A = this chain, B = another copy of it.
């Protein structure tokens, strides 16, 4: 089973509204998932906990894109106990406009 998490940091003084879209190999993307990271706080996200608008299918590879109205830092970790695979991706998300 894959345990995929993201640690989101909002080092600024305003709450950040974040939307996450999940992409798959063989179906349309799911989302947006919406969450708020409070000012000067971290948020530890387990992708398996996302359920609105729909749970993320298990046993299916996916990729995620974060968008935010405030600058945030996303550190992404995937642990796959089947293959002892460690997958890491660090991203800086900035508001687009």
A residues engaging B (CB < 8 A)? 7, 9, 11, 21, 23-26, 28-29, 40-44, 61-63, 65, 73, 75, 77, 79, 83, 85-90
**CB <8 Å contact, B25 and A43:** yes
Could you say which residues of chain B place their CB within 8 Å of the CB of A43?
Answer: 25
Task: Label chain A's interface by main secondary structure.
Answer: strand
Number of copies: 4
Across the interface, A41 reaches (CB within 8 A) one of B23, B41, B44, namely B23
- CA–CA, A26 and B28, complex, Å: 35
Closest to A44 in B: B61
Across the interface, A26 reaches (CB within 8 A) one of B11, B29, B41, B75, namely B41
**CB <8 Å contact, A63 and B42:** yes
Q: 26 A-B contacts, Cβ less than 8 Å apart?
A: A7-B61, A7-B63, A11-B23, A11-B29, A11-B63, A23-B40, A23-B41, A23-B42, A24-B41, A25-B43, A26-B41, A28-B40, A42-B61, A42-B62, A42-B63, A63-B73, A63-B75, A75-B87, A77-B87, A79-B85, A85-B86, A86-B86, A86-B88, A87-B88, A88-B90, A89-B90
